[in-house]
C-alpha cells in the first residue's frame, strides 16, 4: 500500500509540474517506474520459491506463513527441509510446530531422522515425545536406529567381530578349556538411551558371565551336556542394568573343547621343579668340589709342616749327640726303628697298576 501511495503522489506532482519542463518530468517518471518494476520483479523471483513452499504446506494441511519462511532463510535455516518434515509429520498424524523444527535445526540436530523416528514410534505405539527424541539426537545417538531396534530386536555376537577374537575361552575346574560363542538378542530401552552404556558393555558383561559360569563348573562334561545352563545363569544376573538395552535372550551358538590347561600347567610346573632341582644339585656339587679342594690344600699345608719339622730332626740329633743326651747306640737303634717303620709303610701301600 505504501508503494502505491508513493506512485500516486508522484503522478500528482508530475501533473502539477509546469508544462515547460514536461519532457524532463516524463523522463524521470519512466526511470522511477523502471526502477520500481525491476525491484518488484527481483522480489517476485526471490519470494516465488517461498510462495510455492507456503502453498504446498497449506495444501498439505501443515501451513507455514510466508514471513516465517523468509525469516528462516535470514537465520540460515533451510525452509525446504522444515516444510517437508512438517508435512511428513502432519500426514502421519503428528503435529510438530515449525518453530520446534527450526529450533532443533539451529541446535545442530537432524530433524529428518527425529521426525522419522517419531513417526515409527507412533506407529509402533511407543511413547516418544518431542523433547526426549531431540535430547537423544543431540546426545549423539541414532534415534531412528534406536526406535527400529526397539521394534525389531537385533542380535549381538559375543565376542564381537571388531575384537579380533573368535571365541570366549574359559577353564572348568577339571582343567579343560572350553571355547564358546554366544548370540545376545537385545532391544533398545529408549528411556535409558541417554546416559546408558553401549553394546560394548553388553558384550563385555556377557563374556564375563560366560567365563564365570564355565569356571565354576566341576568338569567340562557337565557344561557340554547342558549349555543352556550357561544362558540361564548369565541371563539371571541382570547384565542389562545401566545400559541402553534390554537383554531378551542369550544363546550359546557354539562350544568346543580346547586344550588341557591343567595338564599343561602341571607339565610346566614339573619342568620348573626339574630345573630347580638340577640347579640345587649343581650347587651342592660345586660346594663339594670346593670343600675337597680346600681339604687338599689343608693336607698339602700339613705335609709342608711335617717336612719342615722333619728337617729339624737332624739338627736336634746333632745337638743331642754333641751335648751327650743321645748315645751312639741309641742313635743306631733309632735308625733301625725308622727303617723298619718305612719298610712297613711301603709294604702297606697298594701296588700301582702300570
pLDDT at residue number 115: 92
pLDDT at residue number 17: 46
Average the pLDDT over 214-233 and give the result: 84
pTM of the model: 0.58
pLDDT at residue number 22: 54
pLDDT at residue number 152: 85
In which residue are the cell numbers 523444527 written? 101
114: confidence class by pLDDT, cuts 50, 70, 90 = very high
Residue 22's contacts (CB-CB under 8 Å, 6 or more residues apart) are none
Helix, strand or coil, per DSSP, at residue 76: coil
Burial 139-178 (b: 16+ CB within 10 A, else e): eebbbbebbbbbeebeebebbeeeeeeebbbbbbeebbbb
Question: What's the pLDDT tens digit per position in 245-269?
Answer: 888 888 888 888 878 777 777 788 8
Question: What's the pLDDT tens digit per position in 270-327?
Answer: 888 888 888 888 888 888 888 888 888 888 888 888 888 777 777 777 777 777 777 7
Q: Could you give the percent of the chain with pLDDT greater than 90?
A: 2
pLDDT of residue 19 exceeding 50, the answer is no
SS3 labels along 176-231: EEEEEEEEEEEEECHHHCCCCECHHHHHHHHHHHHHHHHHCCCCHHHHHHCCHHHH
Question: What's the pLDDT tens digit per position in 122-162?
Answer: 888 888 889 989 998 898 888 888 888 888 888 888 888 77
All domains of the chain in start order, with CATH: 2-13+29-149 (no CATH), 150-264 (3.30.479.30)
Q: What are phi and psi of 274, to 5 degrees?
A: -60, -45
User: Using CA atoms, how far apart are residues 250 and 233, in angstroms rounded to an integer?
Assistant: 10
User: What is the DSSP annotation of 4-67?
Assistant: HHHHHHHHHHHHHS-GGGHHHHHHHHHHHHHHHHHHHHHHHHHHHHHHHHHHHHHHTT----HH
Task: Compute the CA torsion angle 83, 89, 93, 95 (nearest 10 deg).
Answer: -70
- Residue 97: DSSP 8-state: -
Amino acid at each position: 500500500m505504501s508503494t502505491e501511495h508513493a506512485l500516486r503522489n508522484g503522478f500528482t506532482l508530475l501533473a502539477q509540474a509546469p508544462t515547460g519542463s514536461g519532457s524532463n518530468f516524463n523522463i524521470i517518471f519512466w526511470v522511477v517506474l523502471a526502477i520500481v518494476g525491476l525491484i518488484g520483479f527481483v522480489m517476485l523471483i526471490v519470494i516465488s520459491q517461498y510462495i510455492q513452499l507456503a502453498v504446498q504446506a497449506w495444501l498439505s494441511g501443515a501451513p507455514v506463513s510466508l514471513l516465517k519462511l523468509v525469516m528462516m532463510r535470514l537465520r540460515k535455516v533451510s525452509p525446504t527441509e522444515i516444510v517437508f518434515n512438517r508435512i511428513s509429520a502432519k500426514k502421519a498424524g503428528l503435529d510438530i510446530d515449525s518453530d520446534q523444527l527450526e529450533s532443533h535445526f539451529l541446535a545442530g540436530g537432524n530433524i529428518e531422522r527425529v521426525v522419522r523416528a517419531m513417526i515409527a514410534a507412533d506407529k509402533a505405539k511407543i511413547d516418544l515425545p518431542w523433547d526426549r527424541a531431540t535430547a537423544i539426537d543431540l546426545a549423539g545417538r541414532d534415534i531412528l536406529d534406536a526406535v527400529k531396534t526397539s521394534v525389531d530386536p537385533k542380535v549381538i555376537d559375543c565376542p564381537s567381530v571388531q575384537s579380533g577374537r573368535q571365541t570366549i575361552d574359559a577353564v572348568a575346574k577339571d582343567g579343560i578349556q572350553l571355547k564358546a560363542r554366544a548370540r545376545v538378542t537385545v532391544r533398545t530401552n529408549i528411556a535409558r538411551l541417554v546416559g546408558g552404556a553401549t553394546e560394548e558393555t553388553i558384550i563385555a558383561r556377557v563374556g564375563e558371565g560366560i567365563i564365570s559360569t564355565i569356571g565354576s563348573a566341576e568338569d567340562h562334561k557337565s557344561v557340554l551336556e547342558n549349555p543352556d545352563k550357561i544362558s540361564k545363569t548369565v541371563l539371571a544376573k541382570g547384565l542389562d542394568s545401566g545400559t541402553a538395552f534390554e537383554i531378551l535372550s542369550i544363546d550359546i551358538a557354539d562350544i568346543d573343547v580346547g586344550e588341557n590347561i591343567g595338564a599343561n600347567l602341571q607339565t610346566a610346573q614339573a619342568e620348573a621343579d626339574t630345573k630347580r632341582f638340577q640347579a640345587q644339585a649343581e650347587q651342592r656339587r660345586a660346594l663339594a668340589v670346593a670343600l675337597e679342594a680346600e681339604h687338599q690344600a689343608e693336607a698339602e699345608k700339613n705335609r709342608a709342616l711335617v717336612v719342615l719339622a722333619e728337617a729339624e730332626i737332624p739338627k736336634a740329633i746333632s745337638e743331642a749327640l754333641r751335648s751327650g743326651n743321645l748315645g751312639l747306640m741309641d742313635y743306631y737303634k733309632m735308625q733301625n726303628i725308622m727303617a723298619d717303620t718305612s719298610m712297613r709303610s711301603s709294604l702297606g701301600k697298594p701296588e700301582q697298576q702300570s
